[in-house]
Structure 1
């Protein structure tokens, strides 16, 4: 068993998604200000490639995205990158085990292991459905679509990921019959105008929407609904929710019923204050309730965790985390979109953008956080940089 040790305050960041990378870049930048070796930041992630989850519905239809490298971004920050799977966290000895071989000790842990597709609750979903868990999963689904000359594709889950995926599939593969199944109406959390635009776009693309239904089982060539009805399917894309890694619970950290780490106001674990939880892995309570996981909320938690660690190292108490939602962008293929502006508690305002204006807004403001990380490296004194510059991540072109 190898042991990685060293001097300085050791910060280990688990996960290099939107929240974890935001935390790592800010921590490394601020650590450099404190002097060489004073703060050592190590980022652990299973892949070197950064997964743009906001674009996976595009990758799932064969559209090629830019190759974004986590080590490349971290190269000038002083942070160390370790590629591997986190197999255990020992909160008592303050160590992390990677691939059952490498042991990383930490003084502060930033836990940013995001969610994966929640296929466990429905029999057959894990075995017979495709997911958007990462770039490889999306590529496998894209290959399946390319092999279908005719047939039916069922998108299980009518949340925003399901809506975006169904629209993208129908636009890119008009020869296929696309069926969107879910308990709720597509765009249920949007206001009436935005919701009507979503439905009109799906109708225009030929997506067959069935709301108020629940998938009870996924079979090799069909999905079975609650009540016994069967819907034939040549391919099933599962977008019905996510689940988090069981590592936090196994480590003895206090978690909620979904396995997310329960945090205090500063994003520290309520049971282990040397552990910060960010992004989808954290149950973060605000005045309006528990935050739900999005890039919009995930990146701010990562930055706040970095600022809090920096304050602690300077002998100060971390400040409470405060966050309010601003918008809900929804892609409807490449030439259409909806942007619903929201109140801080995520309730819809009466203002929304639709069509080309929404597409431009989404691409300019929300489509990619990658340039944001670069600005974080250069401006470590501020934590208020949020996503801009979506075109950067489309430079890879399309097939």
Structure 2
């Protein structure tokens, strides 16, 4: 029995480790373009130099799980073709290639390890008084702006996007804004249409806004913190996808095009889900459980998962936790301050622990 896991993020790593426990006779191979597990929810710490975000895959995968350093170029009939030109056969495949970013030209994307490392280097070279603009007012942008502002109080930090913490309740949004103001992050709710890269070593970027009331903004470093692009692997391989390129799945997280293929994480079109490690872990675990049940000749059970909230860190000592209903809609209640920062750190540690140990629990979905 050959099982291939494409992608070693939260969902893929957890699925591989859980399968190794439940189907010990299987030959499990994890294919990943990096030799490390990357905690994407900590990339803002990598940018600011306030935390480590990578762990060698050898320390994350259970004994007996093989890993190959490569990128899957295409999925065929019972095999995957790698960017090296080699192919790897499978009886079952777990597709967990996650999401990527499509930044505006002239910006540095911070949603990948490579982009975050580039941003870290550029940030370290900025002199006091320089201006950093972060584009994107979702979780990635907010955490990036706050982390940079706290780590480099000598810089001017600006956050630009259409609506600050749009999924939060009004009270939680106000608290996020207050936390950013405490760190002296200026917030501008507007849409960016274009970024013109500055010329020369210290040439300032020109950031064009949709409303453009006072002309373009200027920045010494412009960071792109908008996520959501999906690799086109599933579509290129002939799997059915939605309009965002996510693979369509049945109630058991199997591709509707090929039941040998399970799809989990950001690249899976699961109704009601959003991109988050809170989503990836349960999907990786359920796919592993369903595959194990199938191999043992047992009937699969449909996937069900409910949310409990969304956490934001505002530097190392502040945060906001927006509590939610199981359908992910925001409640009025939220947590804030140091206790929220501690809880967010605990959830982040727990997500990595779950991926490494394959031990995880989650809420069932809304009725």
TM over 0.5: yes
Q: Which residue number corresponds to residue 96 of structure 2?
A: 112
Residue 3 of structure 2 corresponds to 11
Matched, 1:193 2:179: no
> In the TM superposition, what whole-angstrom CA distance separates every residue of 1:263-288 from its partner, at most 9, and x where no partner exists?
11000111111111000010002xxx
In structure 2, the partner of 1:142 is: 120
For the residues of structure 2 that align with 1:201 and 1:47, how far apart are their CA atoms? 35
- Map 1:319-334 → 2, pairs under 5 A: 319-334=301-316
Q: Counterpart of 2:193? A: 216
Structure 2 CA distance, aligned partners of 1:333 and 1:201? 9
How far did 1:163 drift? 0.7
Q: 1:46 to 1:314 in 2, by over 3 A?
A: same
Corresponding residue number in structure 2 for 1:165: 144
1:243 and 1:342 map into 2 onto residues whose CA distance is: 25
Q: Secondary structure of 1:222's partner?
A: strand
The 8 Å contact of residues 2 and 90 in structure 2, kept in 1 or not, is answered as yes
Alignment match, 2:23: 31
Task: Tell me which residue corresponds to 1:346.
Answer: 328
Deviation for aligned residue 1:86: 1.4
SS at match of 2:38: coil
State the alpha-carbon separation in 1 of the partners of residues 299 and 169 from structure 2.
Answer: 40
Asked whether the equivalents of residues 16 and 43 of structure 1 are also in contact (C-alpha less than 8 Å), the reply is yes
1:183 and 2:162 are equivalent in the alignment: yes
Distance 2:309 2:7 in 1: 25
- Determine if contact 2:136/2:226 at 8 Å carries over to the other structure: yes
SS at match of 1:71: helix
Q: Name which of structure 1's ranges 327-336 and 363-372 shifts more when overlaid on structure 2.
A: 363-372
SS at match of 2:36: coil
Q: Which structure 2 segments of 5+ residues have no match?
A: 198-204
Q: For the residues of structure 2 that align with 1:41 and 1:351, how far apart are their CA atoms?
A: 43
Which residue number corresponds to residue 27 of structure 2? 40
- The answer to whether the 8 Å contact 2:14/2:357 transfers is no
Q: 2:15·2:284 contact (CA, 8 Å) conserved in 1?
A: yes
Equivalent position of 1:262 in the other structure: 248
**C-alpha deviation, 1:367, in angstroms:** 4.0
- Give the Å deviation of 1:291: 0.9
Q: Indicate if the aligned counterparts of 2:101 and 2:109 stay in contact, CA closer than 8 A.
A: yes
- Tell me how far apart the structure 2 counterparts of residues 158 and 375 of structure 1 sit (CA, whole Å): 33
Count matched residues: 353
TM-score, normalised with respect to structure 1:
0.85
